Structure 1
Amino acid sequence: MRPAPHERPAAHPHRKRIRIAIVVGTVLTILVAVGIWSQRGHRLSTTMPQWEPASGAFLSSPMHETPVTGWRSTSPRWGLTDPTAHLASIDIRRGTRPFVGAIDKNAYFIATTSAAPEPVWWLIAVDTLTGDSLFPAVSLGSGVRSPKCFLNGGEQVLCLREHDDSSVTASVVDSRTGAVTFEGATDLRTGMGRLEVHQVGMYAVARTQDQGVYGIGPRAETTWFVPGDGSIQVNDLTQFGLPPQEITTQGHRNPRLWSTTVFSVKDGKVLHDGSTESDRLEKTLVYPGGFAAHVDRNDDDLGVQFFDSTGNRVGDSVRDGSLPDGTPGLPIVTSDGEYSVFSVDGRRLFNIPRGALYIVDSTLYVNASGSQAFPEWQQYDLPSGKTGPVCDFAMQNFIGFNDTTMLFAPNMPNSQVLLSAYDKTTCERLWKMPSSGADERVWRVGDTLIRSSGDGTELTSLAAPGEAPPR
């Protein structure tokens, strides 16, 4: 409540008329504004928040026409002279894949060569601007099972090779030079159980059920520890151009205590401790720049609150709101049967119908049909909420964009289409590239598309026709 104004001398009649005009004008402005802001898809905040487009999926090469091969990289260029060398095959059942990840413009892959009695596995690294190898292929040892590799910060790649269910060898490789800085037995595991390793953002972390989450150090040892139930939240949105995840959550060890702990995957710094008697975060969703949580204080429901990446409160609470099961990269609150889109600083932007959500650059896509097989992706501009075309894209296959051209790569076994392009303004398909093999894939690394051949013996870049490949 505003305090009562101090008593002042009577105002001059002319000044009174001015004040009345100002008050009337202000009231009319508010009434008009309320009428505008209450419309679905229009802004609800009084000031336009700063918006950083999720432009990490931008491709430097124009893609309006079918791309052609740029540079080529084969096994001799990887440092492997064995004629049997090729990228590791995809094994969905075991969760193995050839692509490890990317650090800046450098892509890391697992390759293999045939040998008796067991195949030999290798880590290779390719500069995606030129196709050159960063270093000669690094041996990861031999074995029937493909190793699993993880980025661990910007300087290390951690590879785990399982000999059997009780024996694992770790190799820690310098991501810039290829030097093996550690190799030996480790307690880390890649399957279900104790110290199970997961990629969260740019870091490898280990979880143990009903115990908590550990950081991993330069000798494949556990470092920091955050107690909890080990149910880490992985929300990888880099496919759509958002930055790597920096914070995560886990539940309380006691399943009867509905509370989450929020912490950094870099150093384990706790942003909110779910094991204390303070406010309980009953449900938490993380996104680039912070997190949102449904908060309870001494059995008093405080609604949804917003926090920045350091754990500080931002914005206002949404008393009558709840959180959905996922986030496209911005906080979303469910209320009155629809979604409210918020900025990372906790300001309501606009309302939309409920449905699957994706963000690409400065456009929010909402599936109005509720069907993945027959989608109707309504486009909303961010942060204004202005509506755009409705398209039937396969958004789950999105890989990159240039201007109004959007690219999609199914990357599914036996898919007949490797890559296709659509115009986001007309929804029309511009071209499609057929697939020639089960292991043929396309990845985006930085602003470049990388293609593997069907037999895994070659990596190439994809560029617009007429662009000269690098030497």
Structure 2
Amino acid sequence: MVVIAVVAAGIVVWRSTREAGAHVDATIGTPHDLLVSFSLRQRPVPGWRLNAADIGLPPDVPVGTLFASTADSAYFITTHRDEQGLSPVGWLYGVETSTGKVLFPPIELAGFRGYPHGECYGNGPGVALCVTGGDVDRGLPKLAWVVDLGSGQVTYTGQTDLNVQGDRGTARQSLMAVGSYRAETRLVVAREGVGVYGVGPHAEQTWFVPGGGNIFDPGYRQSSDIPATTIAMQNAARDAPPESPYRMFSVIDGTDLTPTPPEGTRIRKSLVYNGGFAYSFREPGKRDGLLFYNTAGEFVARYQDENHDLTPIENSVMPMALLRANPAQWLVLSAAGELVQSIPTTAAGVYFRIIGTKFYLNQPGTDDRWQQWDLNTGASGPVCQLGLSYDYVGSDGSIVVVNGGLQSSTVRAVDPSTCATAWEITEQESGRQLRLQQVGTELIQSTRDELTQLRPAQ
């Protein structure tokens, strides 16, 4: 074992290393080709437009909400019901994001109730699963539809015992979407105290991974700039040995990826990120360390501080840990187990986000004000009001675009290097409450009645 000193952001951190294991692609930050594909310094202008009639929806039906996308296609679900709520109907359709072409006529889903009683999800590339909860008092059954998004055809429909995400129902089980709603997801059924199942082409439960049946929520409803992870983590069964409290598995086929802990170590906490996963471990009489693995479950590297404890922090872009020193530090690491930057913090539990090669840290006790740090140089930037917790839309790597939140429909573009507002789009301009979303590398603006592509000004 070799002990070396690593200097990052002006702070010396001692750590121990051992010979690295398997190879892993250790991307620093968000890959640029996953960000918005054009400069956002100038306000973008409308490109194609689609209203409900253009899409083929019935009168008075809104254009709906995004639930999945690929590199060049976006998929939406919308609903309508009578005043008594006795005849709910949903419609699913797709749009080519670069041209605005409707990919197939809206698919009618009779009996679909809409959020929060019903939702549609992507279930791997080219497949959607829509589930709606029943209503015994109104005689509405629980239903599921499986849709081939390539052909626009329903391949299966029928009654189901599946519950929408967040609703465990009487069986203490629910769907969980691993990934991001605005990109690709894969579905599992998490059954408390039993384990996790895959979901097949007839909305049936397929492969099975035993365990505690609670999986880490990967931030399905938050905007993310990285590819969907293919790994999930569930808690162990009650009778599992204490040295291995978490189980890692593939959400593609259920392969158990949980490694055997090194002899004499105890696993304490786990985290999943782009490129792999890591375990926090402790050896008798020593401080916590981290063991890094790639997406195949192969050992990659080990990281250990000799003087302070490390607490792993969930971050889907890059692995992170809180170093409990004086002052405390956020450690941003690569998937290869190398320290990238050490960033001082005055409090635990604050929010953070990685965009491109910049790290943004929400300042404790402030109104959505964020400190910027450069992952390549460690240099800090100004503290700006950005709204990155839940209102983040996207970025070209330099300009950050955010929605206005629940109290405002204004879309705002900010230069985090100066805190200056580059441009805005207001509700008054559109005439309706609006939101902006990054889909693939495109920007799509939506109101109740219209979808609009935003493209660079010529």
Question: What is the TM-score of this pair, normalised by structure 1?
Answer: 0.79
Specify the alignment match of 1:271 in structure 2. 257
Q: What per-residue deviation string (whole Å, max 9, x for no partner) do you get for residues 129-182 of structure 1?
A: 111111110111135555311100002100012222694211100011111111
AA at the equivalent of 2:35 = F
Counterpart contact for 1:45–1:347, Cα < 8 Å: no
Counterpart contact for 1:44–1:348, Cα < 8 Å: no
Of 128, 132, 138, the residue aligned with 1:157 is 128
> Is the counterpart of residue 181 in structure 1 residue 175 in structure 2?
no
Specify the alignment match of 1:134 in structure 2. 103
Which whole-Å CA distance do the structure 2 matches of 1:366 and 1:388 have between them? 11
Of 388, 392, 398, the residue aligned with 1:398 is 392
Which whole-Å CA distance do the structure 2 matches of 1:403 and 1:174 have between them? 34
Q: What displacement does 1:220 show?
A: 0.4
Which whole-Å CA distance do the structure 2 matches of 1:183 and 1:315 have between them? 46
Structure 1 portions without partners, runs of 5+: 3-29, 89-97, 467-471
Structure 2 portions without partners, runs of 5+: 18-24, 180-184
Counterpart contact for 1:236–1:245, Cα < 8 Å: no
AA at the equivalent of 2:314 = G
Give SS of 2:223's match: helix
What's the RMSD between the two structures over aligned residues?
3.4
Residues 125 and 45 of structure 1, relative CA distance in 2, 3 Å threshold: farther
Question: What is the TM-score of this pair, normalised by structure 2?
Answer: 0.81
Specify the alignment match of 2:228 in structure 1. 244
Counterpart contact for 1:260–1:280, Cα < 8 Å: no
Counterpart contact for 1:172–1:219, Cα < 8 Å: yes
Give SS of 1:234's match: coil
Which whole-Å CA distance do the structure 2 matches of 1:362 and 1:37 have between them? 15
Residues 225 and 243 of structure 1, relative CA distance in 2, 3 Å threshold: same
Q: What displacement does 1:323 show?
A: 2.2
Specify the alignment match of 1:27 in structure 2. none
Give SS of 1:271's match: coil
Runs ≥4 in structure 1, deviation > 4 angstroms?
33-38, 41-46, 113-117, 143-146, 255-258, 273-280, 296-302, 436-439
Range with greater deviation from structure 2 (103-112 or 266-275): 266-275
Specify the alignment match of 1:442 in structure 2. 436
Residues 176 and 374 of structure 1, relative CA distance in 2, 3 Å threshold: closer
Of 334, 340, 363, the residue aligned with 2:322 is 334
Counterpart contact for 1:41–1:386, Cα < 8 Å: no
Which whole-Å CA distance do the structure 2 matches of 1:325 and 1:157 have between them? 31
Q: What displacement does 1:277 show?
A: 10
Of 178, 187, 193, the residue aligned with 1:200 is 178
Identity percentage of aligned residues: 30
Give SS of 1:395's match: coil
Specify the alignment match of 1:70 in structure 2. 47
Q: What displacement does 1:263 show?
A: 0.8
Q: What displacement does 1:363 show?
A: 1.1
Identify the structure with the greater strand proportion: 2
Counterpart contact for 1:330–1:343, Cα < 8 Å: yes
Specify the alignment match of 1:425 in structure 2. 417
Q: What displacement does 1:380 show?
A: 2.4
Q: What per-residue deviation string (whole Å, max 9, x for no partner) do you get for residues 48-106 of structure 1?
A: x96454135522243223333211112233232x2122134xxxxxxxxx221212221
AA at the equivalent of 2:454 = L
Specify the alignment match of 1:16 in structure 2. none
AA at the equivalent of 1:361 = G
Which whole-Å CA distance do the structure 2 matches of 1:204 and 1:317 have between them? 32
Give SS of 1:323's match: strand
AA at the equivalent of 2:122 = L
Q: What displacement does 1:341 show?
A: 1.9
Counterpart contact for 1:38–1:44, Cα < 8 Å: no
Specify the alignment match of 1:343 in structure 2. 334
Of 277, 287, 303, the residue aligned with 2:289 is 303
Specify the alignment match of 2:268 in structure 1. 282
> Is the counterpart of residue 224 in structure 1 residue 207 in structure 2?
yes
Which whole-Å CA distance do the structure 2 matches of 1:356 and 1:350 have between them? 17
Which whole-Å CA distance do the structure 2 matches of 1:409 and 1:141 have between them? 33
